[in-house]
Amino acid sequence: MRKPATAAAPEAAESTDDTAPRAPKASRLRKEQGILAEAENHFAQFGFEGASLENIAAAIGISRHNLLYYFPSKEALYQRVLDDVLTQWLEGMEALSHSDDPEQALRRYIRAKMQYSRMRPQGAKVFTKEVIAGAPRYGTAIAERVGPLLKTEVRTFERWAREGRIAKVNFTHLMFIIWSVTQAYAEQEAQFTLLLGKPALTERDYNNAEELIVRMVLSALGPGATA
The yes-or-no verdict on residue 23 having pLDDT over 80 is no
CA dist., res. 133 & res. 78, Å (int): 14
Contact residues for 56 (Cβ-Cβ < 8 A; gap 6+): 35, 38, 39, 42, 67, 77
The yes-or-no verdict on residue 27 having pLDDT over 70 is yes
Residue 150, H or E segment:
helix 139-162
Whether the CB-CB separation of 75 and 137 falls below 8 Å is answered with yes
Distance of CA 127 to the CA centre of its chain: 8
Quick check: pTM over 0.75? Answer: yes
Tell me which residue of 103, 105, 111 sits closest to 166, measured CA to CA: 103
pLDDT range class, residue 74, cuts 50, 70, 90: very high
Q: Apex CA 216: angle with CA 122 and CA 181, to 5°?
A: 20
The more confident residue out of 42 and 93 is 42
Q: Which domains does the chain have, with CATH numbers?
A: 82-221 (1.10.357.10)
Which pLDDT tens digit goes with each residue over 85-121?
Answer: 999 989 888 888 788 899 999 999 999 999 999 999 9
